[in-house]
Amino acid sequence: MNAGSGDGDFLAAGGPARHIPVLRDEIIALAAPCAGGLYLDATFGAGGYSRALLATQGARVLALDRDPGAIAAGAGLVAESNGRLTLVEARFSDLAAVAAGLGLGPFDAALFDIGVSSMQLDEAARGFSFRFDGPLDMRMQQSGLSAADLVNDADEEALADILYHFGEERASRRIAKAIVMDRAKAPFRSTAALAAMIARVCPGKPGDIHPATRSFQALRIAVNDELGELVAGLAGAEAALKPGGRLAVVTFHSLEDRIVKLFFAGRSGRGEAPSRRLPGEPIPPPPTFAVSGRQPVTPSVAEIAANPRARSAKLRHGVRTAAPARAPGRDLMALAALPQRAAKGR
């Protein structure tokens, strides 16, 4: 997701290293690429993971990205790979179907770097950040419903739910009410206009994050269905990995990390106490992942100093067992969706 520290051996796709994934060395160590191995880079971005995997002679990579800009920028790396890199424009929720359609798999490792990339944040025209004024867009695929559509068309209750659930914004109702009032005079079209309005109704304190930070996160997650994509992607990776294959996932905020943590806990049987099972209680399915070591893994002090955007990164990982893959549970699906009824007391 974010540009990190590193040497010049693994330049980002398309030239100078603008974007080297956070915890790259830890991720590649977990993947343990070898000659003849097949690897899945579910979030290609600028190609940092893929290039590092391809540094092992004979390793092959299937890489996905839903952003057509990332696919176009990765053409050079595809050419350099001499057929060892297959780059596909697709959501990682569809990874199992994409792999099957290409006749690829099972995989030795699957790597995820969840969220918006540094290049997307730094490109004003994409509308992901309010650091630069730009159109209120936020679409990773550059098609479909935009953040402006959501802000200008959704009703007040729906907006409040999005801000509260996906942004953990305590002032969600106040902000949603102000949005509805202001858009009646003129629709929101720019990132600067929306950020300024939020700062007006929820002024921040010195040293705090910008008052619009959580709202922008919430809108981006809603526009791109990021949490639903994550749940489906984890289940797809489970189905696509071979026994002994590794799954490694880097997240950047608590909602994502909560889903990944719950996924690995449920799939590894953590917390199960067979001796306490009630008579007649069904036996849970066998674990599909083995999880070991101290987790989550976080960036070093040196990496954070070189790249402050890395400070919130968390890496969780597991090793695939031979047990059959299974569908996401209701607990994971509930974390990825808005609640059926709005919570009170916001």
| In the chain, domain spans | 24-118+226-336, 126-223
d(CA 113, CA 99): 19
DSSP 36-91: T-EEEES--TTSHHHHHHHTSTT-EEEEEES-HHHHHHTHHHHHHTTTSEEEEE--
CATH 1.10.150.170 fits 126-223, yes or no: yes
pLDDT of residue 307: 85
Tell me the CA distances in angstroms from 242 to 19, 100, 113, one per residue in order.
29, 14, 21
> Contact 39/107 with Cβ under 8 angstroms?
yes
Q: Give all strands (DSSP E) within the chain, no chain letters.
A: 38-41, 60-65, 85-89, 107-113, 241-251, 289-290, 314-320
How many other CB atoms are there within 10 angstroms of residue 221's CB atom?
A: 25
Residues making up the annotated binding site are 47-49, 65, 92, 113, 120
CATH code for residues 24-118+226-336:
3.40.50.150
Helix spans in 184-253 (H): 191-201, 213-224, 226-240
Residues making up the annotated binding site for S-adenosyl-L-methionine are 47-49, 65, 92, 113, 120
How many other CB atoms are there within 10 angstroms of residue 302's CB atom?
A: 9
Classified as helix, coil or strand, 332 is: helix
Q: Give all strands (DSSP E) within 71-142, no chain letters.
A: 85-89, 107-113
pLDDT of residue 10: 30
> Contact 92/236 with Cβ under 8 angstroms?
yes
pLDDT of residue 309: 82
pLDDT of residue 3: 36
Q: What is the pLDDT along the chain (346 residues), one digit of tens a residue?
A: 333 333 333 333 333 335 567 899 999 999 999 999 999 999 999 899 999 999 999 999 999 999 998 999 999 999 999 999 999 999 999 999 999 999 999 999 999 999 665 555 555 555 567 777 899 999 988 788 999 999 999 999 999 999 999 999 999 999 999 999 999 999 999 999 999 999 999 998 888 899 999 999 999 999 999 999 999 999 999 999 999 999 999 999 999 999 999 999 999 987 555 556 667 677 889 999 999 999 999 999 999 999 888 899 999 999 999 999 999 989 999 999 998 754 444 4
Q: Which residues pair with 289 in a beta bridge?
A: 320
Q: 24-118+226-336 with 126-223: one CATH topology?
A: no
Tell me the pTM: 0.87
